[in-house]
Amino acid sequence: MRLILLGPPGSGKGTQAQRLIHRYGIVQLSTGEMLRAAVAAQTPVGLKAKDIMAAGGLVPDEVVIGIISDRLDQGDAAKGFILDGFPRTVPQAEALDVLLKKKHLKLDAVIELRVNESALLERVERRAAEMRTRGEEVRVDDTAEVLIKRLASYRSMTEPLIHYYSERRKLLTVDGMMTIEHVTHEIGRILAAIGAIEPKTPKRAAKPAARAARWKAPKSAKKASGGARKAAKSPSGRPKKATAGKAAKKSLRKAGSASARRPAKGSRNAAKKAAKKAKKR
Ligand code: AMP
């Protein structure tokens, strides 16, 4: 399974990635983590990135693309991966498309964690406090001042990726304001709906359901995210944060239930046909 997690700083990408890697045995490729490691090790990349990161800016595309390309070639990524914090710009997304094509790899989905921006500051402050309690070093960019800059950069540079992946029918939106457990559950549910993982249903029902979900999902997923985005816009074009999560949830519920109903009808028809044939015989 190959996924991208999209969302502003503090939206829970790292937390969800950690849970997904344990559940599905895939690796998390976080450019932020890799860059922090490079800064700590004082490698040439680290030295280049250090000040940019501390100020909440974006490290040049060619640097992060190089890191990701090398990382994708390592053996542990063969089973699948979650990209967390990459791509962050449209040129990075285009470069990733080229990389994946070259390596004959296909992306399963891009999961957007939609969050209420006003809650982010509180989340980031809580993360810093928890790290301090655990005696860990707090990230230099986990301050209110830098977060505001990182959010602005997310809006202008990264948000266009929502449109980019929506157009390519890869985008799935999840309400990131729910509890951690609930978000993980939703992600699992939509991954099952698109056929990226086995749904948690009895074996006999699982096969046709997975097939129908695979057939239907790209369109409904687009609808779900598109609907959510439409509903999330106010007439001025600015996002209406309070309704965005609900709309995304509602559309996703629709997408999920549509794909869940279809196979049931299909198997009913198949059963009827089989009964008729048997009667004739
Ligand atoms: P993160 O841990 O994803 O919040 O990333 C921390 C910092 O690393 C960001 O604020 C950027 O300075 C840098 N960074 C991480 N990923 C990227 C990327 N894909 N492109 C540019 N800069 C990045």
What is the C-alpha to C-alpha distance for residues 56 and 256, in angstroms, rounded to an integer?
Answer: 37
What is the C-alpha to C-alpha distance for residues 262 and 212, in angstroms, rounded to an integer?
Answer: 7
Query: Is 83 within a domain?
Result: yes
For the stretch 242-270, pLDDT in tens is 333 344 344 444 433 333 333 334 444 55
Query: Is 108 within a domain?
Result: yes
* Bond from prior residue into 44 cis (ω within 30 degrees of 0): no
Is residue 150 within a helix (H) or strand (E), and if so which, with residue range? Answer: helix 144-153
Residue 114's pLDDT is what?
Answer: 94
Residue 129's pLDDT is what?
Answer: 85
Residue nearest to atom 8 of ligand 1 (CA): 32
For the stretch 100-125, pLDDT in tens is 999 999 999 999 999 988 888 887 78
Residue nearest to atom 11 of ligand 1 (CA): 58
Q: What is the mean pLDDT of residues 70-95?
A: 94
For the stretch 5-15, pLDDT in tens is 999 988 999 99
Residue 269's pLDDT is what?
Answer: 54
Query: Is 176 within a domain?
Result: yes
Distance 227 CA to ligand 1 centre (A): 29
For the stretch 138-192, pLDDT in tens is 777 778 888 888 899 999 999 999 999 999 999 999 999 999 999 999 999 999 9
Quote the pTM value.
0.70
Query: Is 258 within a domain?
Result: no
Residue 42's pLDDT is what?
Answer: 94
CATH code of the domain covering residue 140: 3.40.50.300
Tally of domains within the chain:
1
Contacts of 257-263 with C-beta under 8 Å, sequence gap 24+, read 258/216, 258/220, 259/193, 259/209, 259/212, 259/213, 259/216, 259/217, 259/220, 260/193, 260/209, 260/213, 262/212, 262/216, 263/205, 263/208, 263/209, 263/211, 263/212, 263/213
Tokens (6 digits) for 134: 């655990």
pLDDT category of residue 131 using cuts at 50, 70 and 90: confident
Residue 112's pLDDT is what?
Answer: 97
Query: Is 164 within a domain?
Result: yes
Residue 146's pLDDT is what?
Answer: 85
What lies within 8 Å, CB to CB, of 130 at 6+ separation is none
Distance 60 CA to ligand 1 centre (A): 10
Residue 215's pLDDT is what?
Answer: 41
For the stretch 196-221, pLDDT in tens is 877 765 545 445 444 444 444 444 44
Distance 53 CA to ligand 1 centre (A): 7
Query: Is 92 within a domain?
Result: yes
What is the C-alpha to C-alpha distance for residues 181 and 123, in angstroms, rounded to an integer?
Answer: 16
Residue 118's pLDDT is what?
Answer: 82
Q: What is the mean pLDDT of residues 84-99?
A: 96
For the stretch 29-70, pLDDT in tens is 999 999 999 999 999 999 999 999 998 889 999 999 999 999
The residues annotated with a catalytic role in the active site are 13, 88, 127, 139, 150
What lies within 8 Å, CB to CB, of 164 at 6+ separation is 90, 93
Query: Is 207 within a domain?
Result: no
Query: Is 260 within a domain?
Result: no
Residue 213's pLDDT is what?
Answer: 40
Mutating to test ligand 1, I would choose from 88, 123, 149 the residue with most ligand atoms within 8 A of its C-beta, which is 88
Pocket of ligand 1 (CB under 6 A): 9, 31-32, 35, 52-53, 56-59, 64, 85-86, 88, 92, 141, 150
